[in-house]
Structure 1
Amino acid sequence: MTAIADPEGASLVDIPSNRVPAGARVAHFMTSDKVRLRYAIWPKSAGAHRGTICLVQGRGEFIEKYFETIADFRARGFAVATFDWRGQGGSERLIGNRQLGYVDRFSDYWLDLQSFHGQILLPDCPPPFYLVGHSMGGLVALHAGAADRLMFDRIFLSSPMIGLGGMPASPGVMAKVAETLSFFGLGELPVPRRRDGPAMEMRFADNVLTSDLGRFTRMIDVLKARPALDTGKPTIRWIAAAMAGMAAAAEDRFPGRIRVPVLILAAACDRVVATAATEEFGLRMRTGRHMVVAGARHELFMENDAVRGQVLAAFDAFITDQSV
C-alpha cells in the first residue's frame, strides 16, 4: 500500500507514469474560514533528519504534479507536506463552474498557508520548516515572509508570480479595473486567455511550461485519469486578487519587510511570469538573492534533467547544506 487515504474521500491519483511516493498520508483539513483543502504528507525516506519541506504550488496545479520533486526532497532527508490551494486541484471549488479559477482576495491564499501551518505542519511534521513555492505559490510565500518571519526558516522560490509579461498596465491599475468589474457582478466570468483551455488538450509543441516531453506527458496523463483536478481560465475576480497581490509586492517597502532568508530562481525563457520583474525584486531584497536559470521555461521543477540538476543544486546549497 503506497498511501493512506482519508475515509472521507481524499485520495491521490496513482498511475503507471506517475506513482505515488511510498508512505503518503492524504486527507482534508478545514481552513479557519471553513474551506476544505486536500493535503498530503510524507516522512523522509533516507539520510539524516533535516526537517520538513512545505511545498506550495502555482495557479491551477495539484499535488500529483510534484511527485518526482517530493521524492527528490525526501531522498535528501526531508519530510514533505503539501496541499492544494482553495479553488483548485482536489480542494473545495468556490463557485459553481469548477473549471474556472476563482478566489475572493489574494490574502485568502495566505489564510490557506496559515491554516496549514497551524493545523498540519506544527502538530504532525518535524521541524525546522522550509517553504518552497512555485509561481503563484511563490508570491504567497513572499507575503508569508513579509508577514511572519518565524513560520519558516528559509524560503526557496521557483519562477514566482511577481509580474506577468505583456500586461497592458501596472498590476495596481489592473487590480482596480478587475475590482470594478467584480463590483458590478462580473467577477465569476472567465478571462479569455488562449493558453488557458483544458490542460489535457494542450499540445506539447504549444506549451510554455517545460521543454521536457516526458514530464509534460506525465502531467497530461494525471489529468486524463482525474479530469476534476483541472483548473482552466481565471475569472475576473481571480485577476483582481492576483494583481492586488503583485501590486503589494511591488511597493517600495515590501522587500525590506522580508526577514527570512530567500533564494529566488527565475527562468530565462519564461513566457508566463516576467523574469525582469523577478530580477528587479531580487535586487531590492535585504535577506535574499536571486539567480536566472539559462535556457529554462516557467516550470523549473518540471524541466529537463539539465535544468532540474541546476535547480536541485541551488536547493542543496541554500537549504540541504544549511539544515545539517
Structure 2
Amino acid sequence: MTLVSIPANPVPDDVVSGTIKTSDGAELRFARWAPPPGRKGTVCVFGGRGEMIEKYFETVRDLRDRGFAVAMIDWRGQGHSSRRLRDPRKGYVRNFADYETDVEAFVQQVVLPDCPPPYFALAHSMGGAVMLRIAHAGKRWFDRMVLSAPMIDLPGRRVSFFPSALLRIMRLTGQGSNYIPGGSSELVGLAPFIGNPVTSDPVRHARNAAILEEDPTLGIAAPTIAWADTAFTAMRTFRGMSYPSEIRQPILMLAASNDEVVSTAAIEEFAYHLRAGSHLVIAGSKHEILQEQDRYRAQFWAAFDAFVPGTPLFK
C-alpha cells in the first residue's frame, strides 16, 4: 500500500509496504525498511492514538542512521488500516486487547519473516500502554522496550470512578460508537500551533499538519465512547505497585515534564516499581517528544542509545 510523501516529509528510501490481516479480520497497513549493510537488529515503532506511519519518517531515518532496520504498522482504525465504523473519522476500538491482536499479526507476518533480530520496541503514548500490556502478559517478542510518554494515566487527576462509570453506562445503552461528550469530527493534528498540547516545535507541527492536509483519510478525530471506555479500563489496571512489579521485560520510559496529555507523575510512579526498568523525565518537553525541538529529541536519543544496543559496523 502506498505511503504518502510530501516535500517536507519524503518517504525514506528502500521501503517495503503492504497490508496484513489479523486473526479477527482487521486489515493493517505496514511498512518496513532494511538496515544498512553489515548491521543487525530491528526497531518496531508503534505510534499513539491518531498517528500514522508517515508521522514517523524522521524517526525512521534516525533509527536507520543508527544501523537498525525499522518496521511499523498503522493501528486498526487509524492511518490506512481498516476502520470499523461507517464514519471513518471516529476513533474506535472494541477492546484494548484488539491492539495486542494487531501486534501479534504484525510480529508473525512481518517482523519474524522479514526483519533481522534482535527485536526492540519503540512506542508512544497509547502504543506504550499496549506494550505494557504485552510485557505484563509475558509475551517476549522484543528484547527491550523504549516507551515515549506512555499512556498510564491522565494528567492532573487519576482516572476516576465517575467518568469511567458514566462511559460504561453510555456504552451499555448503545452509545459506544458516538463521539465522547464534547468530541468533534475535526481531525487530530490540525489544531493551530499556538496552544497545542503536544509539541513546542512549529516546524514539526506544520509538517505533521501538512501530511493530513495532503491526505485527510490518514487522520481520525475525537475518540468514541467505546474507545474511551476501554482506554479507561486499561489505565485502571496499571494502578498500584503489583502490576509493574510483575513485568520482567527490560523497559525504558521517557516522560515529558510539560505533558498535558498523559500523567508524568504516573509514569514516574509506575517506573519506580518496575523490576527491570528505568525512566527519564525530559525537562521542558511536551507530550510528543519525538516531534519536539532538537534539544529535547537529543536527550531522547541519548537515552535510547544507552539502552538499546545495536550491532557495530566493523570496517
**TM-score greater than 0.5 by the shorter chain:** yes
Give the counterpart of 1:163 among 128, 153, 156: 153
Letter in 2 for 1:234: P
Distance 1:121 1:173 in 2: 41
- 2:7 corresponds to which of 7, 13, 16: 16
- Alignment partner of 1:288 is 2:277: yes
The letter for the 1-side match of 2:104 is Q
One-letter identity of the residue aligned with 1:315: F
Deviation of 1:198 (Å): 2.5
Which residue matches 1:183? 172
Moved more, 183-192 or 131-140: 183-192
Query: What secondary structure sits across from 2:129 in the alignment?
Result: helix
Instruction: For residue 270 of structure 1, give the secondary structure of its aligned residue in structure 2.
Output: coil
* Inter-partner Cα distance in structure 2 for 1:269 and 1:196: 27
Tell me if structure 2 keeps the 8 A contact 1:192–1:233: no
1:273 aligns with 2:297: no
Deviation, 1:121, is: 0.7
Structure 1's consecutive aligned runs of 4 or more residues displaced over 2 angstroms after TM superposition are 169-177, 192-201
Structure 1 pair 277/296, CA: closer, same or farther in 2 (3 Å)?
same
1:29 paired residue among 20, 28, 37:
20
Amino acid corresponding to residue 23 of structure 1 in structure 2 = D
Number of the residue aligned with 1:89 = 79
Match of 1:105 in 2: 95
For 1:294 and 1:177, the matched residues in 2 are separated by 35
Q: Structure 1 length normalisation: TM-score? A: 0.92
How far apart are residue 253 of structure 1 and its match? 2.0
The code of the aligned residue for 1:141 comes to M
Change (3 A) 1:278 1:195: farther
Q: What is the match of residue 36 of structure 2?
A: 45
Which of 99, 109, 133 in structure 1 is aligned with 2:123?
Answer: 133
Contact in 2 for aligned 1:262/1:288 (Cα 8 Å): yes
Q: Distance in 1 between matches of 2:93 and 2:124?
A: 18
Contact in 1 for aligned 2:188/2:222 (Cα 8 Å)? no
Gaps (5+ residues) in structure 1?
Answer: 1-9
| Unaligned runs of at least 5 residues, structure 2 | none
User: Which of 102, 115, 118 in structure 1 is aligned with 2:108?
Assistant: 118
Cα distance between partner residues in 1 of 2:222 and 2:45: 23
What are the within-5 Å matches in structure 2 for residues 35-74 of structure 1? Answer: 35-45=26-36, 48-74=38-64
Q: Which amino acid aligns with 2:24?
A: D
Larger mean Cα displacement after TM superposition, 248-257 or 312-321: 248-257
- 1:319 to partner: Cα distance: 0.3
Where do 1:241-320 residues align within 5 Å? Answer: 241-320=230-309
Structure-2 separation of matches of 1:171 and 1:58: 22
**Which amino acid letter does the alignment assign opposite residue 19 of structure 2?**
H
> Matches of 1:150 and 1:134 in 2, distance apart?
19
Given the superposition, is the C-alpha separation of residues 95 and 298 from structure 1 closer, same or farther in structure 2, using an over 3 Å criterion? Answer: same
TM-score under structure 2 length normalisation: 0.95
CA positional deviation for 1:49: 1.4
Specify the code of the residue in structure 1 equivalent to 2:236.
A
| Matched position secondary structure for 2:80 | coil
Following TM superposition, by how much is the alpha carbon of 1:203 offset from its aligned partner in structure 2, in angstroms?
0.6
1:174–1:240 CA contact under 8 A, matched in 2: no
Q: Distance in 2 between matches of 1:203 and 1:11?
A: 28
Report the more deviating stretch, 201-210 or 264-273. 201-210
Number of aligned residues: 312
Kept after mapping to 1: 8 A contact 2:153/2:159: no
RMSD, aligned CA? 1.7
Q: Do the aligned residues in 1 keep the contact of 2:42 with 2:69 (CA within 8 Å)?
A: yes
Deviations 1:181-201 (A, max 9, x none): 111100011014579832464
Check conservation: 1:187, 1:235, Cα contact below 8 A: yes
Q: How high is the sequence identity, in percent, across the aligned residues?
A: 42
How far apart are the structure 2 equivalents of 1:272 and 1:154?
25
C-alpha contact 1:264 1:282 (8 A) present in aligned 2: yes
Instruction: Compute the displacement of 1:258 (Å).
Output: 1.3
Q: What is the match of residue 3 of structure 1?
A: none
